[in-house]
Amino acid sequence: MRLLSFVVLFIYSAVCFSQKINYTSLVTDKNLIENADAIVRLDELVVDIIAQDNMVLTSKRVVTVLNKNGNKHINAFVGYSSSNKIKNIKALVYDSFGNEIKKLKEKDFKDVSAVSGGTLFSDYRVKYLDYTPTQYPYTIVLEKEIQTPNTVFVPEWNFLDDYRQSLEKSSFVINYANANLKPAVLEKNFGDYAIEKKETPLSISYLATNISAIKWEELSPDFNVITPKVMSRLVNFHYEGINGHVENWGQLGEWMHNNILKGRGNLSLAVKEKVRNLVKDAATDLEKAKIVYEYMQSVTRYISVQVGIGGVQPILASEVDRLKYGDCKGLSNYTKSLLEAVGVNSYYVHVEAGSDKINFEDDFPTLSQGNHAILAIPNNNNNNYTWIDCTSQIHPFGFIGDFTDDRKVLVIKPTGGEIVKTTAYLEKNNEQLIKSNIQLLNNGAIKVKAVIETQGIQYDNRFYLEDKDRDKVLEHYQDVWSSINNIELEDYSFNNNKEKVKFTENVKITAENYTRLLGSRILFTPNVLNKSLYIPKRYRSRKLPFSISRGYMDVDTYVINIPEGFVVEVLPEANKIISEFGEYKSSVVLEKDGSLKYTREFLLRTGNFPSNKYKEYRDFRRKIASNDNQKIVLVKK
Amino acid sequence: MTKVLKLMVMYFLFVQFSHAQDVKFGKVSKEELQEEFYAKDSTADAAVLFRDVRISFVYLESVGFVVQQKIHERIKIYNKGGFEHGTVVEALYQGNSGTNETLTGLKATTYNLVNGNVEKTKLKKSDTFKEESSKYYIREKFTMPNLKEGSVIEYQYVINSPFYSSFNEVTLQYDIPIVNQKIEVSIPEYFIFKNISKGYLFYELKKTVKSGNITFTNKTRSGGGQYTPISTSYSSSNLDFKINVSSISMQDVPALKEEVYVNSMENYRSAIKYELQYTDFPNSVIENYSGTWEKVVKNIYENVEFGSQLKLKQYYKTDLEQLLSGKITEKEKAEAIYTYVKSRMSWNGLLGYYTDNGVKKAYKEKSGNVADINLMLVSMLRNAGLKANPVLVSTRSNGVPLFPTRYGFNYVVAVVNLNGANVLLDATSNYSKPNMLPVRTINWAGRIVHENGSSSTIPLQPNYKSLESIMMSVSISENGKSEGKIRRFCKDYVAYKFRVNNSDIGEETYLEKLEEKFNGIEITDYSVKNKEVIGKPVMESISFNKENTSEVIGDKMYLSPLLWFAQKENPFKTEVREYPVDYGYPWVDKHVININIPEGYKVESMPSPLKAVVGDGIGQFIFQIINNNGILQVKSDLSINQSLISSQDYQGLKDFYKAVVEKQTEKVVLSKI
């Protein structure tokens, strides 16, 4: 599925009081140096809400960069557009003794289009500093000031904004002109961090000091979920010429519907007739929806164009119909209109997409949450929805994969918005069944015939193979079966059952030198096709919690025919490993006909775990890896 | 912009020539729309059915000659994977006013077969986008409307450029197949270009001559005195000249397909390169651009951003004097200067053999591009009385400079002659050392620019092998656990890569990476020497323990003699190979491993020794194992003696690796006594 065309212009950044700070790179606090490539000496943002449609953001950021990996932490850029104007931007660079070595003015910043991959055109722009450090450490001071009428986006304040960066002082201040403009704030992940909050009439402020750098660790949750931040919003806001008054998600949905979505869905009579004709034999609403969705998939493609208000508003359905392309908003709105034409009701949905599951905040309605749009089709029971992502041309109807699954999203109804959770694919939903017939040959070669069935997220990882050519298919098997050298692909066929969301691979391979000949013995691993050798990295001291965001269930059954003239010398014992992370069992049995039957079941559970469980999880995976590598010894009769 | 353009078009006085156009815009056949796959390459997601590129020079009275590229392409989209070819992006250079490149005359249509009829959807003006991507470039973009699997798309447009070098490379090969293409380049006799072929495809270049003609309008003003009104009279004059036309016609051009171990696929994309050698206008002197190596070098040398930069010396004079005090030998002097420039200057990441800031400013600001830094280095070496010269280089991603051309180079390093031997120097990288250039520059040969402007070649590949050596002693216990010590020794480029990858990560993070790389060993003690001492080998000492080092099955133990250092996979998987395998530098990997087998076990069987070679001295593999009273002494040396291995030797290399993988993964069997 394609990413994010829902653009919110980032005007985060920070501002400043005039205050004496020491610009030498001399930081002696060990807690700030450990694991840090850069130390944020000062990060300040002052948000002045002057009127409902006038907000000024003044920021100052002082960063001491310790080495070249720290350069990215200077954040020396600023996004702007026709509404978000840069009033001031400048930078000063100091050497490690605190001597000024360079002064950079607005014209020294490079001015480029803020187009990211996958976007054809956007009128957002960014000015950034392309500074080549001449020594480390150095200290850079960046000051900026931006003015915008769009008070709907009061920036979110992150006290830490990346791994490997420590913080000496961070200050976030919101000043508002009158009580009507008082922002609501939501504090997230403050945990044990010492963050001071101060409220005076017409001002709210936060101050954090001395926070150590965080090192990235495998399987850790999203950075945003573990570090402190403050979200803010105005009840009375302004967005590109439109005012709003929003106290809850219901009202934000209503505002979206009335101001952003209404009137975007008109289609010509000919188009409506066309889809009505397509669904004429369909009995239920869901059948109709499926036909319409598949029709939309077959005639459109994802192209993102972001102009002006288009960061939030979909382009007209009639335009999408003419061009046959659109971004997530455009394609969702178009599909919604097509569904409407055949009498099927659906709702436009804002969601934060990505493989990390990020929820909308239950009681904190803002327009800046979410980066993607999908559709929800209500089923008979109104609390149950079928979700469709209109930016994919290949996903089955009602299957959203790991891009928007299992998270709280905003469903926008004409009567208001609601927070709802999307479909989750957990554990046994994500199943893989492998049945295989394996022949070992005298010369060490192996012949494999396998049927692989996948569902859920495992389906999502496989079904794209259907469209690949032979070279790519071979590459895929070389990749997943990397322990088998010299794979030759004899034959393969795929069956993509979109109704049941099940993908079946029928594959035949041969490979030389799979088994090891050792004098009169043959050594081989019976788990030919599904070795789970992944062991999470060892950390001397694990700091962060970890999560298994999507568990799965694998079941393997192989019949292994051993070469003529050999008998089994040693069979591994059956194994069972049970832990709170899942269950694993494997066994090899000698059948009456002389063949071996290998069976394996592995259930991995979805869950969030504290850091002190990490070692246990590693042990669990290590035992599995070791089991999956167990060998059988055959000996000449 | 468009207004200006229209005005410009009015002034165009077209150079006359005719060309039979065989494919008309808009005449898309049903057969083309019905086609389901490309017969010659069924894996193609899309194919260019027809491509017509015409490059010509047009005389514009206000500016002179400008280059026009007329592009017309018709593309068949077979499936969704081909949709990306429905988007076109052209980058256009924006100089000072009047020197902008422009795109004009855009016409584009999508064709679909609907109920047996051809349905046309035209691209609207409002569906095109102009993005100011930087100060110097705008990008014109459009994507075709109503695109479906099976669609045929067609577009044509003209790129107008005031730069003669704007078409320095005409691509002949795409990532999708081209069924039919015609390229025609028409150049007035006043411009002498050299054309050079690139890539592996064969084509025929047909040359013909046509006549051209320019009509000049001369404006004469007279009068304007006290009693006479101003009058302007017009007269016109003609200039006839020859146009050299070269044309290429190609059918069934295969798609360019990616391979592993290639420095840059762009090196292998077929194209015809054009380089302006000189211009010879009537009534003017000949102006040289390039042609022979001598001319190319002279041209570069005479540029103020090259030759003159070498002459400046005031800016470092006092620093140099200080630096040289007490230094006697040439070697000492050269080393002092090289180390000084390397540590003083930070490279800003920009390539080029022309200076960016100029050496003086760069020196003051302590940062600059490649030329700023290395020309400064040459100049300082010369002023210390050493024989030093700049060396023009083409980086690996820039391709191989086979023919004399300015565009062939994009980088400059320094060479200093010490006691009759040439030593290459590059001060842009902290981790390089004398005669060890950064990997990006190891690409065939460089061109030394001598002080008198003459030139000669110098090979850039190192003539030594970069060594990684592992010495290990390990004891294995009955349950398959192990404990031991490793001494790792990295020299030259192996050390260079170690430093590049690990210089800025903490030791803890590095050790975690290393534990992962060494198959999950747990490191109990670690020390490293010479981590930052460039020129000396990096020496690491590691104490470790590890579970599951061997497999215990029944009363036998199975052990891989190279443990986790065995190469388990053949890196070469494809059956055929078009392009050379590029390792960058010759290397050797040595392992000496002593394994103490557990008490109560004896060696039942072990792999036989092996010596394998590939090609005529391309590579060599030696494997030995001896049982010395319960201590297994394993030795495995793998070396590749050339940077570049041609595709003819590919099969040999693949088989060689197969033998290496098989031998290194063979097992030792121990059994209980």
pLDDT of A12? 33
Nearest-angstrom CA–CA distance, A238 and A151 = 5
Q: Do A134 and B346 touch (CB under 8 A)?
A: yes
pLDDT of B223? 61
DSSP string, B44-96: -SEEEEEEEEEEEEEEETTTEEEEEEEEEEEEEE-SGGGGGGGEEEEEEEB-S
Chain A CB contacts of B363 under 8 Å are: none
- Placement of tokens 């100049």 in the chain: B379
Chain B CB contacts of A544 under 8 Å are: none
Nearest-angstrom CA–CA distance, A234 and A238 = 9
Q: Do B146 and A322 touch (CB under 8 A)?
A: yes
pLDDT of A572? 87
Q: Do B133 and A485 touch (CB under 8 A)?
A: no
**Interface residue of A102, A476, A538, A627 to substitute, partner B, most B CBs within 10 Å:** A538
Residue B98 pLDDT > 80, yes or no?
Answer: no
**Domain locations in chain B?**
2-21+29-166+177-188+205-262, 293-459, 468-672
With left for phi above 0 and alpha for psi between -120 and 50, is residue A281 left, alpha or beta?
alpha
Chain B CB contacts of A627 under 8 Å are: none
pLDDT of B290? 61
Q: Evaluate whether A30-234 and A249-421 have a shared fold.
A: no
Percent of chain A with pLDDT over 70: 95
Chain B CB contacts of A215 under 8 Å are: 509
Nearest-angstrom CA–CA distance, B474 and B483 = 6
Instruction: Name the stretches of chain A with pLDDT < 50.
Output: 1-19
Q: Is the peptide bond before B580 cis (omega within 30 degrees of 0)?
A: no
Domain B468-672, CATH 2.60.120.1130 — does that match? yes
Helix axis angle, B370-383 to B330-344, nearest 10°: 150
CB contact, 8 Å: A521 with chain B?
Answer: yes
Give the confidence band of B542 by pLDDT, cuts at 50, 70, 90. Answer: very high
Q: Do A111 and B135 touch (CB under 8 A)?
A: yes
**Domain locations in chain A?**
30-234, 249-421, 427-636
Chain A CB contacts of B548 under 8 Å are: 626, 629
CB contact, 8 Å: A518 with chain B?
Answer: yes
Q: Which member of A121, A305, A633 has the closest CB to residue B554?
A: A633
Paired sense of beta strands A325-326 and A301-302, if any: parallel
Give the confidence band of B3 by pLDDT, cuts at 50, 70, 90. Answer: very low
Paired sense of beta strands A385-388 and A408-413, if any: unpaired
Q: Do A325 and B143 touch (CB under 8 A)?
A: yes
Q: CA-based diameter of chain B, in Å? A: 129
Class in CATH terms, A249-421: alpha beta
Q: In terms of C-beta density within 10 A (0-12 exposed, 13-18 middle, 19 or more buried), how is residue B453 classed?
A: middle
Average pLDDT over residues B283-308: 80
Chain B CB contacts of A513 under 8 Å are: 662
Residue B144 pLDDT > 90, yes or no?
Answer: yes
- Is the CB of residue A275 less than 8 Å from the CB of residue A341? yes
pLDDT digits (tens, 9 = 90+) for B361-383: 999 989 899 999 999 999 999 99
Distances (CA, A) of A232 to A25, A155, B289: 33, 7, 62
B90: closest CA of chain A, how far (Å): 12
- Is the CB of residue B311 less than 8 Å from the CB of residue B379? yes
Q: Which member of B133, B349, B569 has the closest CB to residue A112?
A: B133
Q: What phi and psi, each to the nearest 5 degrees, are found at residue B447?
A: -120, 115
Nearest residue of chain A to residue B428 (CA atoms): A134
**Interface residue of A82, A95, A106, A121 to substitute, partner B, most B CBs within 10 Å:** A121
**Element spanning B250, H or E:** strand B231-253
pLDDT of B229? 63
Distances (CA, A) of A150 to A9, A448, A526: 10, 62, 63
Q: Do B515 and A537 touch (CB under 8 A)?
A: yes
pLDDT of A458? 96
- Placement of tokens 């000249």 in the chain: B241
Amino acid at A496: N
Chain A CB contacts of B520 under 8 Å are: 535, 538, 622
A382: closest CA of chain B, how far (Å): 35
B-proximal residues of A, 366-395, CB under 8 Å: 393-394
Q: What phi and psi, each to the nearest 5 degrees, are found at residue B369?
A: -85, -175
pLDDT of B520? 83
Chain B CB contacts of A327 under 8 Å are: none
3-state secondary structure of A480: helix
Instruction: Tell which wins on pLDDT, B267 or B226.
Output: B267
B114: closest CA of chain A, how far (Å): 12
CB contact, 8 Å: A280 with chain B?
Answer: no
Helix then strand then coil, % of chain A, to nearest 5: 20, 40, 40
B46: closest CA of chain A, how far (Å): 13
Nearest-angstrom CA–CA distance, B297 and B393 = 12
Q: What CATH architecture applies to the domain A427-636?
A: Sandwich (2.60)
pLDDT of B220? 67
pLDDT digits (tens, 9 = 90+) for B317-365: 999 999 999 999 999 999 999 999 999 999 988 888 999 889 999 999 8
**Element spanning B10, H or E:** helix B2-11
Q: In terms of C-beta density within 10 A (0-12 exposed, 13-18 middle, 19 or more buried), how is residue B325 classed?
A: exposed
pLDDT of B405? 66
A581: closest CA of chain B, how far (Å): 21
Residue B226 pLDDT > 60, yes or no?
Answer: no
Q: Do B148 and A299 touch (CB under 8 A)?
A: yes
Percent of chain A with pLDDT over 90: 73
**Interface residue of B128, B351, B669 to substitute, partner A, most A CBs within 10 Å:** B669
pLDDT of A285? 94
pLDDT of A65? 94
Instruction: Please state which CATH number belongs to domain B293-459.
Output: 3.10.620.30
Nearest CA among A481, A485, A566, A493 for reference residue A532: A481
* The CATH number of domain A30-234, selected from 2.60.40.3140, 3.20.20.70, 3.40.50.300, 3.90.1150.10: 2.60.40.3140
Percent of chain B with pLDDT over 70: 91
ipTM for the predicted complex comes to 0.78
Query: Could you give the strand order of the β-sheet that contains A347-351, starting from the edge strand earlier in sequence?
Result: A385-388, A372-378, A347-351, A408-413, A416-421
Residue B583 pLDDT > 60, yes or no?
Answer: yes
3-state secondary structure of A404: helix
**Element spanning B147, H or E:** none
Compute CA A487 distance to the chain's CA centroid, rounded to the nearest angstrom. 33
Q: Which member of A102, A324, A622 has the closest CB to residue B145?
A: A324
pLDDT of B263? 63
Distances (CA, A) of A240 to A39, A397, B149: 37, 35, 38
Residue B575 pLDDT > 70, yes or no?
Answer: yes
Chain A CB contacts of B347 under 8 Å are: 132
* The CATH number of domain B2-21+29-166+177-188+205-262, selected from 2.40.50, 2.60.40, 2.30.30, 1.10.760: 2.60.40
Residue B394 pLDDT > 50, yes or no?
Answer: yes
Q: Do B508 and A133 touch (CB under 8 A)?
A: no
Q: Do B515 and A69 touch (CB under 8 A)?
A: no
Q: Do B129 and A135 touch (CB under 8 A)?
A: no
Q: Do A323 and B148 touch (CB under 8 A)?
A: no
Q: Do A518 and B661 touch (CB under 8 A)?
A: no
What integer best gives the mean pLDDT of chain B?
86
